[in-house]
Structure 1
Amino acid sequence: MGDSNGFVLVDRPRPDVAVVTLNRPERVNSMAFDVMVPFRDELRRLGDDNEVRVVVLTGAGRGFCSGADQSGERGRMPNIDGLTGVTIALRAMELLDDIIVTLRRLHQPVIAAVNGPAIGGGLCLALACDARVAAESAYFRAAGINNGLTASELGLSYLLPRAIGTSRAAEIMLTGRDVDAVEAASIGLVSRVVPDDQLLDSCLETAADITRWSRPGIELTKRTLQDSLDAASLEQHMHAEGVGQLLVRLMTQNFEEAVAARKEKREPRFLD
């Protein structure tokens, strides 16, 4: 197991899967800078690691991430010497925004293994992942409204309506109420709910299912799924999908290998 200052742990339970754990359980993995800075840096390193095909993100202890750190000990932002408070605040938001964007831009699919609370920025982290699996103890809250602020932060008002629909997202964001794991599954916020002690194993099984397939096929599927959120029209998006499909079809022997594997009743071996 590797680590970045102890607050971010990286484990390799299998050679092609990395499990990233936010590791400040006494603060329910809140988004203090001494956690978020190494977290961002670790994501960047994983994005450049061609041995990693899937990333699983989770939290240590009893929670996934409780959002903004309210302890008063938020750590120190890097590179702020000589800046005033307002500029430091802007840089802080840029840092947190960068984490959301980095999760989305990773070549690898990211699975959120949501244990316990995912509150405020923690909900945003989960939404930035490509898939979400909830433990029975998980719950979600758009907490900004509870704190006298707006409920919109770190892309929440963009990502949540696209995950569960505008009406449900508005009701959850405006009321600040908790959404438990069962409800989260029923509205499509998570793909499934599993017992707490089976959460990581369940996500690793999904990761193994993903890594069976072609690398460009998986990476292009992630990219087109995200691009679909911003597509101006169905026709425009189908053109983009078609280019990706043609690229893999014409530049690899993957299709021929898949056909042969089915005929021979074996697992395909995609060489891309």
Structure 2
Amino acid sequence: MAAYSVTTENGITHITFTRPEVSNAMGQEFWSTFATTIRDLNEAGKTRVCVVSAEGKNFCSGMELSAFSSGISKTDTPEEREAFAYMVDHLQDTLTSLEKSRFPVIAAVQGACVGAGLDFVSACDLIVASEEAYFRIEEINIGMMADVGSLQRLPKLMPEHIVRELAYLGSTLTASDAKQYGFVNDVCADKEATLSRALEMATIISKKAPIAIAGSKRAITYARDHSTDDALRWASVAQAGYWKPSDIMQAVQSRMTKTDPNFEDPAPINTTMLRPQK
């Protein structure tokens, strides 16, 4: 069975993990295709916002155990260590594709979201969780350091001492506590209500000016990793590129007339020079 499905309608792309029989563990197909899927959505320019949900009881149980079926990677020699680092880079880049996408990504989480699943949602823009959802840095419980994003992103999303507790103790973070700490945006009664809330948020975003949304996402991400002064200087220059009077006028008129605006989709990305010719 495919690792996930992808549909797009009215500017909203819905990615659904489709392996509930293994709690949507991330196997080889996921790691080999997901970044390309996000790249293709970026290039097409038809996606204004993306919702990621999952079939079954759990959102994601992390890295599929079959990834270790050929044995645990060795790092005994410089050559093995270099190859290992390159492999981890690939895993990191797969999830970073969410953070670098032109559009916001909303995760709708139910049940377990652990290990690489937590790495995944840490790279999303918004998180909605069901009441029974929980999060855990599972790697420490199997004798390893998390290395695909949780330890790098979580300290910027919730109090550092809470992240250290999760990282050292391998303890579980409930949905209610995650919301209290600012990691989760909203907590809903069950899986269906969670997905409904995520799609509701996506619908609102899809009706905003796509260029302004893309600029806002970049500005927030840039500010997270730079000083306030650097981020302000970046914004003053970037705004000259994102400024679109026709969108502003349309947004104002739509508010006055209580009608939905009709913004243009983002322009497709021309990647002719970047892809090999057949």
The residue that corresponds to 1:221 in the other structure is 216
Provide the rounded CA distance (Å) in 2 between the counterparts of 1:141 and 1:253: 46
Task: Note closer, same or farther for the CA distance 1:18–1:227 as it changes in structure 2 (3 Å cut).
Answer: same
Task: Note closer, same or farther for the CA distance 1:257–1:62 as it changes in structure 2 (3 Å cut).
Answer: same
Cα shift at 1:271: 4.9
Provide the rounded CA distance (Å) in 1 between the counterparts of 2:27 and 2:166: 25
1:116-127 to 2 correspondences below 5 Å: 116-127=111-122
**Paired residue for 1:7, among 3, 10, 28?**
3
**1:154 has 2:139 as partner:** no
Task: Note closer, same or farther for the CA distance 1:157–1:245 as it changes in structure 2 (3 Å cut).
Answer: same
Per-residue CA deviation, residues 76-97 of structure 1 (Å, 9 max, x unaligned), is xxxxxxxx86666444323211
1:142-181 to 2 correspondences below 5 Å: 142-150=137-145, 152-181=146-175
Q: What's the secondary structure of 2:46's corresponding residue? A: coil
Provide the rounded CA distance (Å) in 2 between the counterparts of 1:40 and 1:96: 10
Equivalent pair of 1:8/1:20 in contact (CA under 8 Å): yes
Equivalent pair of 1:16/1:211 in contact (CA under 8 Å): yes
- Report the count of equivalent residues: 256
Residue type at the aligned position of 1:260: Q
What percentage of residue pairs aligned between the two structures are identical?
29
Task: Note closer, same or farther for the CA distance 1:11–1:63 as it changes in structure 2 (3 Å cut).
Answer: same
Equivalent pair of 1:32/1:73 in contact (CA under 8 Å): no
Task: Note closer, same or farther for the CA distance 1:220–1:144 as it changes in structure 2 (3 Å cut).
Answer: same
Q: What's the secondary structure of 1:63's corresponding residue? A: coil
**1:260 has 2:253 as partner:** yes
Cα shift at 1:239: 1.7
Provide the rounded CA distance (Å) in 2 between the counterparts of 1:87 and 1:9: 34
RMSD: 2.2
Equivalent pair of 1:104/1:129 in contact (CA under 8 Å): yes
Q: Name stretches of at least 5 consecutive residues in structure 1 with no aligned partner.
A: 76-83
Equivalent pair of 1:121/1:153 in contact (CA under 8 Å): no
Q: RCO higher in 1 or 2 (8 Å CA, sep ≥ 6)?
A: 2
Task: Note closer, same or farther for the CA distance 1:235–1:35 as it changes in structure 2 (3 Å cut).
Answer: closer
The residue that corresponds to 1:79 in the other structure is none
Q: What's the secondary structure of 2:231's corresponding residue? A: helix
The residue that corresponds to 1:78 in the other structure is none
Q: What's the secondary structure of 2:157's corresponding residue? A: helix
Provide the rounded CA distance (Å) in 2 between the counterparts of 1:74 and 1:203: 36
Equivalent pair of 1:33/1:74 in contact (CA under 8 Å): no
Provide the rounded CA distance (Å) in 2 between the counterparts of 1:72 and 1:234: 41
Equivalent pair of 1:138/1:180 in contact (CA under 8 Å): yes
